[in-house]
Amino acid sequence: MGGISQPQLIKNGAEAYLYLAEWQGRKAVLKKRLPKKYRLPALDERIRTYRTVHEPLLMHEAKKAGVPTPTIFFVDVKNALIVMEYVDGKQLKQLLNEVSNDERKRLCRQVGELVGRLHKYGIVHGDLTTSNMIYTRDGKIFFVDFGLGERTKDVEAMGVDLHLMKRALQSTHYKFADECFRNVIEGYSKVLDAETVKNVLDKVEEIEKRGRYVSERRQRKA
Amino acid sequence: MASRRREGYCLGIESTADDFSVGIVSFDGKILANIIDASVPPEGGIHPREAARHHTEVAAQVLEEAFRKAGIKPKDLTVVAFSQGPGLGPCLRTGATVARALSSYLHVPLVGVNHCVAHIEIGKLKTGAVDPVTLYVSGGNTIVAAFEAGRYRVFGETLDIALGNCLDVFAREAGLKQKPGEPFGAIIEKLAQKGEQLILLPYTVKGMDVSLSGLLTAAINVLKSGKVRLEDLCYSLQETAFSMVVEITERALAHTEKKEVLLTGGVAANKRLQEMVRSIAEEHNAKFCTVPSEYAIDNGAMIAWTGVLAYTHGITTPIEESFVRLRWRLDEVEVPWVE
């Protein structure tokens, strides 16, 4: 791992450790997927390798779709390590709780547009939470953490993606989750055609009712 | 209801699925009785109407046994609680009918309890956990939850079938037979202990949720191919499915930064799952709390104890609002007694 200096732990996430470091004189983030003791080594290695390979590829593809993502500097598959550009900005998770109603509305629409671009291009993110979105000073929103993403245009996968976004809003921004999600959909609808949007939203509704305990399902049957 | 008594006894009735159970708990949290009568279908899964018929048949006897065990009389009760949902309609209705009858006959208030809330509350009572991230895994539920702003929020859950259901369906496809005291989960666990070879199966984590139906289908296909040892397949199914739910539990733990992990539900009895959850708890400097089996499976004591908590915080359920709620979500319930 030549050229990396003074890694400093910034986050002990569940999935990976994040370090702030310098790589060839640039400020960089090191993302290292450490072995999980609870998983069998064979299973663990398969999962970590898969995600380490796929994450940079998807981040690269996302740029083509017009969604800002950190530039990948270096990938070390054997050590499940990714070195990427450090994006200076604020997590949307924090920002949404601090800004005015109008600004929150605008940010959510912007998020919706970006998710729309990903889906239109055939990428699902797999973990759309506001902690995986970074707002920079020049007004861009960077998406990070594509480890659970995939290349697909399957309506089901797109529906799950939006469902996860909705759920993440409900658990971290429960005071204005519904309003946020509405605005996300507004932005999303600007990018995708009406028919796709309708199909995906129908899917979201179906997922919510599927096999799980939701009162609407009972009403629909009746 | 001008003043609520601070002492007394609550009787709780649990009947969401295949078990009929009555628990009696004192207001200070002593469990005086917890009688569980399980219905085991001769073949296939739970048939809601057959299970409900079982509940009707055993109700009187289980009630009597609970009073005898607790050493109290019906007139000593302060409140009657019942599992109002989520669960299977016919089963829930049987328990609710018994609860309404007791409540009217004894002139004591009725409290409808959410089954998932009850699992968390009894877990806290039995392990001393105060504010845990809970992994609740059973035949009908797969939920990762933690308290935040008045409710137990669902951080992760299954997008399709429950973990226990996944194991049960696989066991039936493999021709295994369960008996009283040895459910499918225990049989699979035993076989898995003899497994050596890891067979690759789909591992599907999406955000903080898991999807288990693809895994089940793949495991059944491998089974039908007849090319592998059943022991290896049970081992691989367990390892894959458990790793998925443990991964989302760890994500919730990292996200909420809570200091306790509570493992409960029927599948919590599995030693391998316990070992895995313990491992993530240690990783995040959290305390691992596993609920004793009698209180991890569906049981009346958990309904009684949650009834105590609700009643002493001003919650009762008038008979006219005591209809069962088949799909009552955990995160719909206000829990004013927490914090």
Supply the pLDDT for residue A168.
86
CA B104, CA B113: separation in Å to the nearest integer? 18
Q: How far apart are CA B278 and CA B289, in angstroms?
A: 8
Q: Are residues B99 and B158 in the same domain?
A: no
- Pair (B154, B285) in one structural domain: yes
Long-range contact pairs involving A202-210 (C-beta distance under 8 Å, separation at least 24): A202/A159, A203/A155, A203/A156, A203/A158, A203/A159, A203/A160, A204/A159, A204/A162, A204/A163, A204/A166, A206/A159, A207/A159, A207/A160, A207/A163, A207/B159, A208/A163, A210/B159, A210/B160
Same domain? For B171 and B260 the reply is yes
- Quick one: B183 and B315 in the same domain? no
Q: Does B237 share its domain with B251?
A: yes
Q: What is the mean pLDDT of residues B51-68?
A: 96
Please give the mean pLDDT across all residues of chain A. Answer: 90
Chains A, B: CB contacts within 8 A come to 98
Q: Is residue B2 part of a domain?
A: no
Closest chain A residue to the Cα of B87, Cα to Cα = A213
Q: Do B198 and A43 touch (CB under 8 A)?
A: yes
Residue A109 and residue A63 share a domain: no
pLDDT band at A90 (very low <50, low <70, confident <90, very high): very high
Question: Are A81 and A98 in a shared domain?
Answer: no
Task: Verify that B16 and B159 share a domain, yes or no.
Answer: no
Q: Closest residue of A to B159, CA-based?
A: A207
Domain total of chain B: 2
Closest Cα in chain B to A174 = B149
Find the CATH number of the domain harbouring B217: 3.30.420.40
Contact B86 A213 (CB under 8 A): yes
Do A117 and A144 reside in the same domain of the chain? yes
Question: Which site among B117, B208, B234 would you substitute to test the A interface, given the most A Cβ atoms closer than 10 Å to its Cβ?
Answer: B208
pLDDT digits (tens, 9 = 90+) for A150-192: 999 999 999 999 999 998 898 788 889 999 999 999 999 999 9
B65 — phi, psi (to 5°)? Answer: -65, -40
Cβ–Cβ gap A38/B209 under 8 Å: no
pLDDT at A114 over 50: yes
The domain of B141 spans 131-293
- Report the distance separating Cα B16 and Cα B250, nearest Å: 29
Q: What residues of chain B lie within 8 A of the CB of A215, using their CB?
A: 325, 327-329
User: Domain end: A50, A85, A120, which one?
Assistant: A85
Cα separation, A49 vs A38, in Å, equals 17
Question: What is the per-residue pLDDT across B218-256, written as a single tens digit (0 to 9) for each?
Answer: 999 999 999 999 999 999 999 999 999 999 999 999 888
Return the pLDDT at A207: 84
B4 domain-assigned: no
pLDDT band for A214, please (50, 70, 90 cuts).
very low
Q: How far is A24 from chain B (nearest CA, A)?
A: 31
The stretch B319-333 carries a mean pLDDT of 93
Answer whether residue B1 is part of any domain. no
A194 and A100 in a common domain: yes
Same domain flag for A106 and A52:
no
Give the integer Cα–Cα distance in Å for B147 and B153: 6
Same domain for A44 and A109, yes or no, is no
Query: Is residue B126, in this structure, part of any structural domain at all?
Result: no
Q: What is the mean pLDDT of residues A36-59?
A: 96
What is the residue whose two structure tokens read 């007849």? B226
Q: Which of A161, A171, A172, A220 to mutate to test the interface with B (most CBs of B within 10 A)?
A: A171
B206–A15 CB contact, under 8 Å: no
Same domain, A30 and A75: yes
Both B24 and B115 in one domain: the answer is yes
Q: What percent of chain B has pLDDT over 70?
A: 99
Which band of pLDDT confidence, cut at 50, 70 and 90, is reported for residue B182?
confident
Asked if A96 and A196 sit in the same domain, the reply is yes
- In the structure encoding, which two tokens stand for residue B211, read together? 């999807």
- Give the mean pLDDT of A195-210: 91
Task: Answer whether residue B67 is part of any domain.
Answer: yes
Mean of the per-residue pLDDT values for chain B?
94
Task: For residue B1, give the 3-state DSSP assignment.
Answer: coil
Active site residue A193: no
Same domain, A126 and A175: yes
Global pTM reads 0.91
Q: What are the chain A neighbours of B160 within 8 Å (beta carbons)?
A: 210-211
Question: Is the CB of B198 less than 8 angstroms away from the CB of A40?
Answer: yes
Single residue among A67, A85, A103 that ends a domain in this structure: A85
Is B326–A39 a contact, with Cβ atoms under 8 angstroms apart?
no
Do residue B144 and residue B112 come from a single domain? Answer: no
- If asked whether residues B266 and B301 sit together in one domain, one would say no
For the segment B289-313, the average pLDDT, to the nearest whole number, is: 97
Domain end, chosen from A29, A64, A85, is at A85
Beta strands B9-14 and B79-85 are parallel
**Strands, E assignment, A108-170:** 123-124, 133-136, 141-143, 150-151
**CATH (domain of A167):** 1.10.510.10
Q: Within the 99-158 window of chain A, which residues sit less than 8 Å (CB to CB) from chain B?
A: 126-129, 131, 148
Q: Say yes or no: A107 and A67 in one domain.
A: no
A218 touches chain B (CB under 8 A): yes
Q: Please pick, among A127, A138, A154, A193, the residue that the annotation labels catalytic.
A: A127
CATH code of the domain containing A81: 3.30.200.20
Claim to verify: residue B72 and residue B177 sit in the same structural domain: no
Q: What residue numbers bound the domain in which A45 lies? A: 4-85
A145 to chain B: nearest residue by CA?
A: B207
For the sheet with B133-137, list strands across it: B151-157, B142-148, B133-137, B260-264, B287-290
Cβ-based contacts of A160 with chain B (< 8 Å): 159, 206, 209
Same domain as A205, residue A110: yes
Averaged pLDDT, A82-111:
96
Residues A76 and A98 reside in one and the same domain: no
Contacts of B318 (CB under 8 A, 6+ apart): B110
Q: How confident is the model at residue A3 (pLDDT cuts 50, 70, 90)?
A: low
On whether ipTM exceeds 0.90, the answer is no
A43–B208 CB contact, under 8 Å: no
Q: What's the one-letter identity of residue B313?
A: H
C-alpha distances (whole Å) from B247 to each of A64, A76, B226 are: 31, 23, 30
Residue B125 inside a domain? The answer is no
B280 and A127 in contact by Cβ < 8 A? no
